[in-house]
């Protein structure tokens, strides 16, 4: 049997997981000398490259001193917690990365809790020790305290520590020992990560932890073999989570090496492989020996906490910028997404309307961003948290929120979050003029707060949150303080009218932008909505007046990204998303109908 080690890289977002995997690949000689390799090579998706974040867990394999090391790079964002949870069941240990300056963050706690509960003994990598304000010793103490808090066993508390600067490509046993390559990390992996227990002689037990899709071969299950062997063309039994059993043939067996996927004939216990040939394969399903099936326990996957409504675009500009505009196309695309994305689900809730449930705003906006790049046109409503009932009590999701802010802004932040039903649980001075604040807050209180938070902290604040638990409903939460400036005409916005509207609030449109009745063209300075005319031109006459031709000075409009727009809108508004534009609009375009509805709600 081959010598194998299976390991996952876990950490809070932006602590350097993907950069570390890059170096592991490069220094193991996986890439040939002439091969030109991108930075953060594992982030292959266009949005991952742009934002510098990992969205999907990905696996790779390297050979080092005759040992095959399977590595899985995981996402750090709380919204993708479902991905991390599944991956941890497939490995025998984890590399826990912690930033030498920032220390333990909310997502670190989330992933550590999962890893320790599965009995893994992590290798702690204190990364970014080259930062000027790095304090590796403090961070190791923080990690130890965290493990103790999570009821780690004696063995888990004896964790090995490696100090690294992944970007510069070195790892050390001691932060000051001067070593300049990754050898200490490879050696620690070989020494500390247990070999897979399981044997090729046993009956087949393979479990799927993530899905892929290929237009030619259909659904692909990426899985770990816990026992036995599997071969191309072999007939095996697919055991589903609900107890259903289906016989099928392995039409393709794929192995991993570096960034390449290689067709292989056979694989044995401990290997991580991709299997095709089963249309109904799903995450958590097992493939077993048909003569003596022993399926593995299905996985528990965290439930979605947020939902948004996707609907067909019905604005006057519908169909002018996108390729796919019908409800059938949107339905097909959502169905394809659910084929591979297990943490989301959707249902049709009316003609051309789909309710999509996910783990957070980021996860849903990334789906919307991918769809618009593919040529889709649609509308998205305001995100709403999923509320459930337990024993007659309304329950809603709560989040653990950690904020690092300059000292002078902490008062304003605490006051603002207090209005959103947040309870402060901790306040720690971080040095260098920064304070760390920790809160427990209803997930509803986080919708629409990011933009305000960045404004309040002058762009210097950092905000992170992770799912805590469902708790009893906490009453109404304050939302947007300002009204909207709503267009009452169809046409193109003119500089003259925008200039006159600037005093009323912040504009979202610039001259020559197309506008229509019911489209939101700006944020009102007061708390009520105001109907305005952005296409009104200057009256021409042949009488000259003094001051007639004063130069018009326009303030640049606020450019709405998809996230900003979703955070900004209220319940009676939606975001029109096309491959070219993102527009905010009233759900009901007709002003008279809007007023009638508002009156009814007031009297109700």
Domain holding 10: CATH number?
Answer: 3.40.50.300
Residue 301 within any structural domain of the chain = no
Of 75-79, 126-130, 170-174, 510-514, least confident by mean pLDDT is 75-79
Of 80-84, 122-126, 518-522, 524-528, least confident by mean pLDDT is 80-84
pLDDT higher than 80, residue 156: yes
Task: Measure the CA–CA gap between 461 and 434, rounded to whole angstroms.
Answer: 9
pLDDT higher than 80, residue 566: yes
User: Quick one: three-class SS letters along 436-495?
Assistant: EEEEEEEHHHHCCCHHHHHHHCCCCCEEEEEEEEEEECCCCCCCCCCCEEEECCCEECCH
Residue 390 within any structural domain of the chain = no
pLDDT higher than 80, residue 82: no
Range 500-504 contact pairs with CB under 8 angstroms and sequence separation of 24 or more? 500/536, 501/532, 501/534, 502/554, 502/555, 504/530, 504/532
Q: Tell me the pLDDT tens digit for each residue of 434-490.
A: 888 888 888 888 877 777 787 788 877 777 777 778 888 887 776 777 889 999 989
Whether residue 12 is found in the same domain as residue 151:
yes
Does 235 carry a binding-site annotation? no
Residue 392 within any structural domain of the chain = no
Name the β-bridge partners of 99: 103, 127
pLDDT higher than 70, residue 39: no
Whether residue 580 is found in the same domain as residue 521:
yes
Q: How many CB atoms lie within 10 A of CB 187?
A: 15
> Exposed, middle or buried, 454 (CB in 10 Å: 0-12/13-18/19+)?
middle
Q: Of 440, 443, 441, nearest to 305 (Cα)?
A: 443
Q: Which of 192, 223, 255 is the last residue of a domain?
A: 192
Whether residue 169 is found in the same domain as residue 242:
no
pLDDT higher than 80, residue 240: yes
Whether residue 535 is found in the same domain as residue 579:
yes
Name the β-bridge partners of 286: 207, 239
229 contacts 129 by C-beta, under 8 angstroms: no
Q: What contacts 390, CB < 8 A, 6 or more positions away?
A: 470
Q: What confidence tier does 107 reach under pLDDT thresholds 50, 70, 90? A: low
Whether residue 282 is found in the same domain as residue 314:
no
Whether residue 505 is found in the same domain as residue 435:
no
Does 533 carry a binding-site annotation? no
pLDDT score recorded for residue 51: 44
Of 46-50, 83-87, 257-261, 477-481, least confident by mean pLDDT is 46-50
Residue 347 within any structural domain of the chain = yes
pLDDT higher than 50, residue 160: yes
CATH number at residue 496: 2.40.50.250
Q: How far apart are the first and last CA of the chain?
A: 73
pLDDT higher than 70, residue 215: yes
Whether residue 509 is found in the same domain as residue 597:
yes
Of 388-392, 478-482, 572-576, least confident by mean pLDDT is 478-482
Q: Which of 288, 315, 347 is the last residue of a domain?
A: 288
Does 128 carry a binding-site annotation? yes
Residue 297 within any structural domain of the chain = no
- For the ranges 154-163, 193-202, 353-362, the maximum mean pLDDT occurs at 154-163
Dihedral angle at the C-alpha atoms of 266, 22, 282, 268, nearest 10 degrees? 20
Task: Measure the CA–CA gap between 584 and 241, rounded to whole angstroms.
Answer: 42
CATH number at residue 365: 3.30.70.870
Dihedral angle at the C-alpha atoms of 322, 327, 329, 332, nearest 10 degrees? 140
Whether residue 240 is found in the same domain as residue 131:
no
pTM flag (> 0.75): no
Q: Where are the beta strands (DSSP E) in 228-365?
A: 230-231, 235-239, 245-249, 252-257, 260-263, 266-267, 272-276, 286-288, 306-312, 345-350, 353-358
pLDDT, greater one: 328 or 305: 328
Tallying the residues shown for the chain, one arrives at 604
Does 200 carry a binding-site annotation? no
Dihedral angle at the C-alpha atoms of 17, 19, 20, 23, nearest 10 degrees? 160
pLDDT score recorded for residue 49: 44
pLDDT score recorded for residue 336: 83
pLDDT higher than 60, residue 1: no
Residue 446 within any structural domain of the chain = yes
Of 31-35, 110-114, 236-240, 490-494, least confident by mean pLDDT is 31-35
> What's the whole-number average pLDDT of the chain?
82
Q: Which of 143, 158, 192 is the last residue of a domain?
A: 192
pLDDT score recorded for residue 144: 92
Q: Tell me the pLDDT tens digit for each residue of 117-148.
A: 888 899 999 988 888 888 889 999 989 998 88
223 contacts 288 by C-beta, under 8 angstroms: no
pLDDT higher than 50, residue 158: yes
Does 465 carry a binding-site annotation? no
Does 19 carry a binding-site annotation? yes
Task: Measure the CA–CA gap between 587 and 381, rounded to whole angstroms.
Answer: 8
Does 18 carry a binding-site annotation? yes
Query: Is beta strand 434-442 parallel, antiparallel or unpaired with respect to 423-431?
Result: antiparallel
Does 242 carry a binding-site annotation? no
pLDDT score recorded for residue 32: 42
Does 114 carry a binding-site annotation? no
pLDDT score recorded for residue 56: 45
Query: Is beta strand 252-257 parallel, antiparallel or unpaired with respect to 260-263?
Result: antiparallel
Whether residue 44 is found in the same domain as residue 188:
yes
- Please tell me the number of Cα atoms within 13 Å of 481 on its side-chain side: 7
Does 130 carry a binding-site annotation? yes
Of 319-323, 465-469, 582-586, least confident by mean pLDDT is 465-469
Whether residue 66 is found in the same domain as residue 176:
yes
Task: Measure the CA–CA gap between 312 and 326, rounded to whole angstroms.
Answer: 6
User: Three-state DSSP class for 352?
Assistant: coil
pLDDT score recorded for residue 300: 65
166 contacts 73 by C-beta, under 8 angstroms: no
pLDDT, greater one: 519 or 199: 519
pLDDT score recorded for residue 377: 92
- Please tell me the number of Cα atoms within 13 Å of 267 on its side-chain side: 25
Specify the residue for token string 């697919």: 238
pLDDT higher than 70, residue 53: no
Which structural domain range is residue 25 located in?
Answer: 4-192
Residue 357 within any structural domain of the chain = yes
- Helix 361-373 vs helix 327-340: crossing angle, to nearest 10: 120
Q: What confidence tier does 55 reach under pLDDT thresholds 50, 70, 90? A: very low
Task: Measure the CA–CA gap between 195 and 208, rounded to whole angstroms.
Answer: 20
Whether residue 137 is found in the same domain as residue 248:
no
Q: What contacts 460, CB < 8 A, 6 or more positions away?
A: 405, 406, 409
Task: Measure the CA–CA gap between 191 and 174, rounded to whole angstroms.
Answer: 17
Residue 197 within any structural domain of the chain = no
pLDDT score recorded for residue 76: 55
CATH number at residue 281: 2.40.30.10
Q: How many CB atoms lie within 10 A of CB 543?
A: 5
CATH number at residue 403: 3.30.70.240
- pLDDT over 70 for what percent of the chain? 89
Mean pLDDT of 6-26: 77
User: Three-state DSSP class for 583?
Assistant: strand
Report the number of distinct structural domains present in the chain: 5
What DSSP state is assigned to residue 526?
S
Whether residue 41 is found in the same domain as residue 173:
yes
């Amino acid at each position: 049997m081959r010598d194998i080690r299976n390991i996952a890289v876990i950490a809070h977002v932006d602590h350097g997981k993907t950069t570390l995997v890059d170096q592991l690949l490069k220094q193991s000689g996986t890439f040939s000398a002439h091969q030109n390799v991108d930075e953060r090579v594992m982030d292959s998706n266009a949005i991952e490259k742009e934002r510098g974040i990992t969205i999907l867990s990905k696996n790779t394999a390297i050979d080092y001193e005759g040992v095959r090391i399977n590595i899985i790079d995981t996402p750090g964002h709380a919204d993708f917690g479902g991905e991390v949870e599944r991956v941890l069941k497939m490995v025998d240990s984890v590399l826990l990365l912690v930033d030498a300056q920032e220390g333990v963050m909310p997502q670190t706690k989330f992933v550590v809790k999962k890893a320790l509960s599965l009995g893994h003994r992590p290798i702690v990598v204190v990364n970014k020790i080259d930062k000027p304000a790095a304090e590796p010793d403090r961070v190791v103490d923080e990690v130890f305290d965290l493990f103790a808090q999570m009821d780690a066993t004696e063995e888990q508390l004896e964790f090995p520590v490696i100090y690294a600067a992944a970007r510069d490509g070195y790892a050390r046993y001691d932060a000051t020992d001067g070593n300049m390559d990754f050898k200490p990390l490879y050696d620690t992996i070989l020494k500390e990560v247990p070999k897979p227990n399981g044997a090729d002689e046993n009956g087949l037990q393979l479990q799927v932890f993530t899905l892929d899709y290929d237009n030619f071969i259909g659904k692909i299950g990426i899985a770990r073999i816990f026992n036995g062997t599997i071969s191309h063309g072999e007939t095996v039994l697919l055991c589903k989570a609900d107890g259903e059993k289906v016989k099928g043939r392995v039409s393709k067996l794929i192995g991993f090496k570096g960034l390449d996927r290689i067709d292989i004939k056979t694989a044995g216990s401990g290997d991580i492989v991709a299997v095709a040939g089963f249309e109904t394969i799903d995450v958590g399903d097992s493939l077993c020996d048909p003569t003596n099936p022993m399926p593995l326990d299905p996985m528990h996957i965290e439930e979605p906490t947020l939902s948004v409504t996707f609907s067909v675009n019905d604005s006057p500009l519908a169909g002018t910028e996108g390729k796919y505009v019908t409800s059938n196309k949107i339905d097909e695309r959502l169905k394809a997404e659910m084929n591979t994305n297990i943490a989301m689900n959707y249902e049709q809730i009316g003609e051309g309307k789909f309710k999509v449930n996910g783990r957070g705003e980021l996860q849903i906006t990334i789906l919307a961003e991918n769809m618009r790049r593919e040529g889709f046109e649609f509308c998205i409503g305001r995100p709403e948290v999923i509320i459930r009932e337990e024993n007659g009590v309304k329950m809603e999701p709560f989040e653990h929120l950690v904020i690092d802010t300059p000292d002078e802004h902490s008062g304003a932040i605490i006051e603002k979050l207090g209005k959103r039903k947040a309870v402060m649980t901790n306040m720690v001075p971080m040095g260098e003029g920064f304070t760390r604040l920790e809160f427990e807050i209803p997930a509803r209180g986080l919708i629409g707060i990011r933009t305000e938070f960045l404004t309040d902290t002058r762009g210097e604040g950092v905000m992170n949150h992770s799912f805590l638990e469902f708790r009893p409903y906490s009453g109404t939460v304050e939302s947007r303080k300002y009204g909207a400036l709503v267009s009452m005409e169809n046409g193109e916005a003119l500089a003259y009218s925008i200039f006159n509207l600037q005093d009323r609030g912040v504009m979202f449109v610039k001259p020559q932008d197309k506008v229509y009745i019911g489209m939101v063209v700006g944020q009102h300075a007061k708390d009520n909505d105001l109907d305005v005319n952005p296409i009104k031109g200057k009256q021409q006459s042949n009488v000259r007046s003094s001051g007639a031709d004063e130069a018009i000075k326009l303030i640049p409009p606020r450019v709405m990204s998809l996230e900003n727009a979703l955070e900004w809108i209220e319940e009676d508004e939606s975001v029109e998303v096309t491959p070219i534009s993102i527009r905010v609009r009233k759900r009901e375009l007709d002003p008279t109908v809007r007023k009638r509805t508002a009156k009814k709600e007031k009297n109700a």
